[in-house]
Every structure is written in structure tokens, then in C-alpha cells.
Amino acid sequence: MKHRIVVLGAGYAGAYSAGYLARQLHSDDFEIIVANAELDFVERLRLHQLAAGHELPHRPLAEVFAGTDIQLRLARVTSIDAERRTVTIADGADTDRLEYDTLLYALGSTTADNGIPGVAEHAFHVAARPSALRLRSRLDELGEGGRVLVVGGNLTAIEAATEIAEARPGLRVSLATSGELGGWLGPKARRHVLGAFDRFGITVHEHTKIERVEETGAVAADGTVFAADATVWAAGFAVHPIAAASGLAVEANGQITVDRQMRSISHPDVYAAGDSVFVIGDNGRPLPMSCASAGYTGTQAAAAIVGDLTGRKIKATALSYVGNHISLGRKDGIFQLVDGDAHSKPGALRGRSAARVKSAIVAISAWAVSRPTFGKPNHKYRLATTREVSPKLVTA
């Protein structure tokens, strides 16, 4: 019997890790199954562009995994039984149960409604491809002067508001945030963001907490009504509840608690990567939910799986967060560096140069998913027997 590795999710963390494992482990000893709801690899970093009306390249997972023995299952993950080592998946009305020896959980995150009434029923978001397309369809319906309200003050909110305003200048775009827009940025970067919002004619409502979303807009805690034909909810991310319901040890927010090698602290045959993992970075702070974190944790999880199953030494991946890339439409942007304490540095790359850097990083991230070994030789490590594996070999 082959050792079965099941990977849940094929986003930045899951797709990269699955491809790496397939290129490093011998197919005579290992079977790799990837369960994902989408046929394509979805560039989540660009979904605000898709919502605004831009076309994104299709990257079929069959092509991403070409040349490997990965078995792709197009289905939603509905539950995990960590004690019985099974995963239940659903494709329409059909369900199936996958048994695993090793599990890599990389289901990512979705938008966080923060318990605000009406978000699920009336708001749009850009945390997944179907939802981004739903927003795009709604924006297509709006005529000249249509009103769009973006709720949130983080990177996603900033990118969504500026992208929509640039791509659809006939719409009236506004943004409401409970704090200061880009308040965590350095002074130069924040001035640049505010200048971009002025240039696009985006109205900003700071220190405004939305307490209810309705079909015709949103209502703030002080009773102010913001009329909108489309409300875009971008007030943070939340992980899927599947992990918490599975019996795995999780944090209060549902992220899987892992050790430095991305192994579940309660079930060492389960690894986690991406937004769904809680891990402390090299600066002593939890890694944020981001594409960068997906890269770090996916690389570490894949290395740990290879090491644990073959007896080879596990190389430690740096878990350092260096900054934020923020696009402000297609021709403007910011690259804000942070220090070791995750505080923004005074300076920042701004303008067209920053936009080019952001585009390059997005392109490299997509390229790396289908080339996880970066041109290095593909090894074909065999499954180690119990006596071949020692604590010294599997501990970084």
C-alpha cells in the first residue's frame, strides 16, 4: 500500500506544496491527492481586478500539475475526522470519503463578517473567484452615477476601492473604515494613498463603524446611513470552520495551532499552511494572513513532510515578514517595508515603480506554483522504514 498524502486546497500554499511533494517523493511509495473546489489555480491577489472588470489568465490545475502523478479531485471539502484520518468531499449532490496517512490542510480563508447583520445576505466581497464575479456582474448592472461602498481600511479594501474607481470612473465610490485609512503605513506612504483616493474621487469616511448592511446600503453605529447600490465587504478575513470541527487543536479564531515545522500540535500526521495556520514568525509575532505567509508556511510544511516521511533533515524556512505591496489601480502602488517589530519604516516605494514591483511579485508567485523546485533537480525520495528515521533527522 502506498502512503497517501491528501492536500486540501490548491491556492498559493496548497498548490505549491502539492507540486513540491510530487516532485520530491517517489511515486512507487507515495500517492498524492489534491482536493479543490475550483478547476483553475486562482490568483487571489488579483481578484479585485477581476471584480472591477479585468480579465485574468486561466491557469488550469491540470496544467499546473502536469508531469506529476497528482490526482486532482474537483470537490468541496465538507468535513475532516482527524481521529479516523478521513476527509469528506462533495461534488454537487455526490459525496466521497478520502482516507489519508498524511494530511496537508491549506483551505485558506474567506471574508470575515464580524457578526455584522446583513453582510452574508447583502454584501459582496473579493475573497473568492465566484464572489468576485458576482460583484463584477453587479457593477455591470449599475449605470452612470451608481454608488459603491467599500467597507474596511486594510489592503484588500484599498485595492478594491481604487481598482473599481479607476476601471469604472462613472461610478461613485466611497469607503468606510473604523480606523484611519492606511493608518499603519509610514507617513509618506499614507499621504500617497490619500492622494490616490483624491485623484480617483473616492470619498473616505474614517472612524466609522458599520453595524448593519442592507440591500440599499449600510448603517453606521452612530445611525448614519450610507446609500449604496453595491456594498463591498473587505473588513478582514476569517478561516473556514472545518478545522475547528475536525478535532484538531485550533486557536480562538479557528486557525490550526502548529509547531515550527507546521505540524498540528494535536495530530502530528496533519500539517497546515497558508491563512489557516497559526504560527509565530521570526519577529515573535503571529504571521499575518497573506500570500507571503502562504509561501513561507507552504515551503516549511512541504519540507517537513518530506523529512518526516523519508528521514531526511528538515531545513528551516525563514518566517520573516518584510512589508506590504498595495496596488492603487493598474499604474500606481506602494511597497511599504516594515522593521523587525512589523512597524512601518518611514520611507516607501511609491508610484509606477511600486506598481511594477507588485505586478512582478504577483507574476512570480503564479509562476512558482507550477515550478516549486525552482529549477533544482527533482528528487525521488523513498518512504523510510521506522528504523531508518531517527529524531535527529526529523528535527530542524
pLDDT in tens, 166-212: 999 999 999 999 999 999 899 999 999 999 999 999 999 999 999 99
Identify residue 141 by its one-letter amino acid code: E
Percent of the chain residues past pLDDT 70, beyond the cut? 96
Say which DSSP state 332 is in.
Answer: -
Q: Quick one: pLDDT at residue 388?
A: 44
* Segments in 36-78 forming alpha helices (H): 47-52, 61-64
Average pLDDT over residues 44-51: 96
Q: How far apart (Å, rounded) are the C-alpha atoms in residues 308 and 153?
A: 41
Banded pLDDT at 376 (limits 50, 70, 90): low
Question: Number of H helices and number of E strands within the chain?
Answer: 10, 22
Q: Quick one: pLDDT at residue 329?
A: 96
pLDDT at position 116 over 80 = yes
Q: Quick one: pLDDT at residue 310?
A: 96
pLDDT at position 387 over 60 = no
pLDDT per residue as tens digits for the range 251-299: 999 999 999 999 999 999 999 999 999 999 988 889 989 888 999 999 9
List the grid coordinates of 83. Answer: 481521529
pLDDT at position 375 over 90 = no
Q: Quick one: pLDDT at residue 377?
A: 63
Burial (CB < 10 A; 0-12, 13-18, 19+), residue 284, is: exposed
Q: Quick one: pLDDT at residue 166?
A: 98
Who contacts 214 (Cβ-Cβ below 8 Å, separation ≥6)? 118, 122
Instruction: Indicate the helix (H) or strand (E) that contains 220.
Output: strand 217-220
As beta bridge partners, residue 203 has: 174
pTM metric for this prediction = 0.92
Within a 10 A sphere around the Cβ of 305, how many other Cβ atoms? 27
Q: How far apart (Å, rounded) are the C-alpha atoms in residues 108 and 251?
A: 15
Banded pLDDT at 371 (limits 50, 70, 90): confident
pLDDT at position 394 over 50 = no
Q: Quick one: pLDDT at residue 396?
A: 31
Q: How far is CA 287 from CA 227, 293, 295, 314, in A?
A: 36, 6, 11, 21
Q: How far apart (Å, rounded) are the C-alpha atoms in residues 376 and 302?
A: 15
Q: Quick one: pLDDT at residue 391?
A: 37
Q: How far apart (Å, rounded) are the C-alpha atoms in residues 143 and 282?
A: 49
pLDDT per residue as tens digits for the range 54-90: 999 999 999 999 999 999 999 999 999 999 999 999 9
* Segments in the chain forming alpha helices (H): 12-24, 47-52, 61-64, 119-122, 129-141, 155-167, 187-200, 242-245, 291-310, 352-369
Contact 100, 2 (CB under 8 A): no
88 or 395, which is more confident? 88
Average pLDDT over residues 312-316: 93
Residue 216, sorted as left (phi over 0), alpha (psi -120 to 50) or beta, turns out to be alpha
Within a 10 A sphere around the Cβ of 186, how many other Cβ atoms? 19
Nearest to 371 by CA among 115, 3, 59: 59
Burial (CB < 10 A; 0-12, 13-18, 19+), residue 120, is: exposed
